């Protein structure tokens, strides 16, 4: 389970999940706010349109009577005739009076309610900002009252309207959940497709770490992952070539060590059996064989240091004449066993380099 949480695929899925959550949350906020604002505007417009006829009736009453005295019964009869005897719902549609908080009110010029579908509101003072949301009643250029439709303030919603918005919000949430699930599923399929080359490279890396240097991965794309696969194949090819070169070099060094060891062993055995006398000349030959072995061992040590990246180069002047002569002496025993003649032709001195 811990490996799952640490996996690259899980991190991609988690990143996708967070991105989708942020996007859906932002969309929900914008859509919710926009829906509420537009719906409230729609409700207010509907209430105003529904009461347009009531406005004309009330203006006619005021024109006839010169005041709002006795308007209560006329107001209630007019509102009930317009709404079917009920309060108004969304867009001015009638709804059941049971549990309805909708009210239609008439405010006088001073802003106090003089008639209302809800008698409890009669006499209340209406703030100026709420009066501005109502329908102004003007006669001969003079405001004689304000007709207010719906709850106070006018842009508040009653219970059925609130239920409608809650239903819309629930559907938005349901759609967001479905969208989140679909995005995660499609994202998981896409991430699985994208991480498949990485899984191949991981398995190939394990194979190479176990010594399978001939293992290669297929290159299925021309993108960054395909370039990574090509680089991996080039790396394993170089490792394989280096390993083969190392094995050949070790074989060559083993052969080079075997030749002087064989010669040295034969000379020592001959001296022990009395075939040769341990003269200074013979001992010098043995010493040269030992020196050759030491040089080969030193070369092997330097090779090991070079492969480990720890070889230090000691630069200094070199006598070319002595270098060539020393190399020729080292090869003299090998050349003696063949028909090849090794001859050095050097001046007495050469410039040092």
DSSP, res 15: H
pLDDT at 344 (0 to 100)? 81
Residues 167 and 75 in one domain: yes
**Tokens standing for 186?**
């499609």
**Tokens standing for 71?**
């308007």
Structural contact between residues 112 and 127, judged by C-beta atoms closer than 8 angstroms = no
The CA–CA distances, whole Å, from 257 to 231, 288, 299, 301 equal 38, 13, 11, 14
Residues 140 and 234 in one domain: no
pLDDT at 169 (0 to 100)? 86
Residues 189 and 273 in one domain: no
Residues 100 and 189 in one domain: yes
Cβ neighbors of 317 (< 8 A, separation 6 or more) are: 352, 353
The CA–CA distances, whole Å, from 47 to 90, 121, 154, 236 equal 8, 18, 9, 79
Question: Does some domain include residue 218?
Answer: no
Residues 169 and 306 in one domain: no
Cα–Cα distance for residue pair 317/306, rounded to 1 Å: 22
Residues 107 and 201 in one domain: yes
Residues 1 and 54 in one domain: yes
Q: Provide the domain limits for residue 296.
A: 225-311
pLDDT at 97 (0 to 100)? 33
pLDDT at 84 (0 to 100)? 54
Question: Does some domain include residue 348?
Answer: no
Structural contact between residues 151 and 87, judged by C-beta atoms closer than 8 angstroms = no
Cβ neighbours, 10 Å, residue 304: 11
Residues 158 and 58 in one domain: yes
Select from 187, 212, 237 the last residue of a domain.
212
Residues 129 and 17 in one domain: yes
Cβ neighbors of 352 (< 8 A, separation 6 or more) are: 317, 318, 319, 320
Nearest alpha-carbon partner for 103 in 72, 134, 149, 58: 149
Residues 61 and 89 in one domain: yes
Structural contact between residues 153 and 130, judged by C-beta atoms closer than 8 angstroms = yes
Question: Does some domain include residue 337?
Answer: no
Question: What's the total number of domains in the chain?
Answer: 2
pLDDT at 275 (0 to 100)? 76
- The SS3 assignment for 139 reads strand
Structural contact between residues 88 and 105, judged by C-beta atoms closer than 8 angstroms = no
Question: Does some domain include residue 341?
Answer: no
Question: Does some domain include residue 346?
Answer: no
Report strand pairing: 104-107 vs 142-149: antiparallel
CATH code of the domain in which 273 resides: 1.10.287.130
pTM of the model: 0.48
- The SS3 assignment for 154 reads coil
Q: Where are the alpha helices (DSSP H) in 210-279?
A: 224-272
Per-residue pLDDT tens, the chain, 353 aa: give them: 556 666 777 788 888 888 888 988 888 888 888 888 888 777 767 766 767 778 888 888 888 888 888 888 888 887 777 655 444 444 443 343 323 334 678 888 888 888 887 778 888 888 887 777 778 888 888 888 888 876 545 456 667 778 888 888 888 889 888 988 888 888 888 888 877 888 888 888 888 888 888 888 887 777 777 888 888 888 888 888 888 887 887 787 777 777 777 877 887 888 888 777 777 787 887 888 788 788 878 877 777 777 767 777 777 888 888 888 888 877 777 777 777 788 888 777 777 77
pLDDT at 249 (0 to 100)? 77
């Amino acid at each position: 389970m811990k490996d799952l949480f640490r996996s690259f695929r899980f991190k991609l899925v988690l990143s996708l999940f967070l991105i989708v959550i942020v996007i859906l949350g932002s969309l929900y906020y914008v859509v919710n706010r926009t829906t509420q604002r537009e719906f409230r505007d729609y409700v207010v417009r509907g209430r105003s349109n529904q009461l347009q006829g009531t406005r004309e009736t009330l203006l006619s009453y005021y024109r006839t009577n010169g005041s709002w005295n006795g308007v209560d019964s006329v107001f209630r009869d007019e509102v009930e005739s317009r709404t079917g005897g009920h309060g108004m719902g969304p867009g001015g549609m009638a709804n059941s009076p049971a549990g309805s908080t909708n009210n239609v009110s008439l405010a006088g010029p001073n802003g106090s309610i003089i008639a209302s579908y809800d008698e409890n509101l009669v006499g209340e003072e209406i703030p100026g900002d709420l009066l501005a949301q109502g329908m102004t009643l003007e006669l001969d250029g003079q405001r004689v009252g304000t007709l207010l439709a719906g709850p106070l303030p006018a842009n508040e919603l009653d219970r059925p309207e609130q239920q409608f918005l809650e239903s819309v919000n629930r559907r938005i949430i349901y759609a967001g959940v479905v969208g989140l699930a679909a995005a995660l599923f499609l994202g998981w399929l896409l991430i699985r497709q994208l991480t498949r080359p990485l899984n191949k490279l991981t398995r190939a890396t394990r194979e190479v770490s176990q010594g399978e240097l001939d293992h290669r991965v297929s290159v299925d794309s021309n993108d960054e992952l395909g370039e990574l696969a090509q680089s991996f194949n080039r790396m394993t090819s170089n490792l394989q070539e280096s390993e083969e070169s190392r094995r050949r070099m070790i074989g060559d060094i083993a052969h080079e060590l075997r030749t002087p060891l064989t010669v040295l062993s034969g000379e020592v055995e001959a001296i022990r059996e009395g075939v040769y006398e341990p003269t200074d000349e013979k001992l010098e030959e043995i010493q040269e064989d030992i020196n050759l072995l030491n040089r080969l061992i030193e070369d092997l040590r330097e090779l090991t240091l070079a492969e480990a990246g720890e070889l230090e180069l000691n630069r200094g002047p070199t006598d070319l004449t002595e270098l060539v002569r020393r190399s020729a002496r080292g090869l003299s025993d090998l050349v003696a066993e063949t028909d090849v003649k090794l001859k050095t032709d050097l001046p007495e001195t050469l410039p040092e380099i």
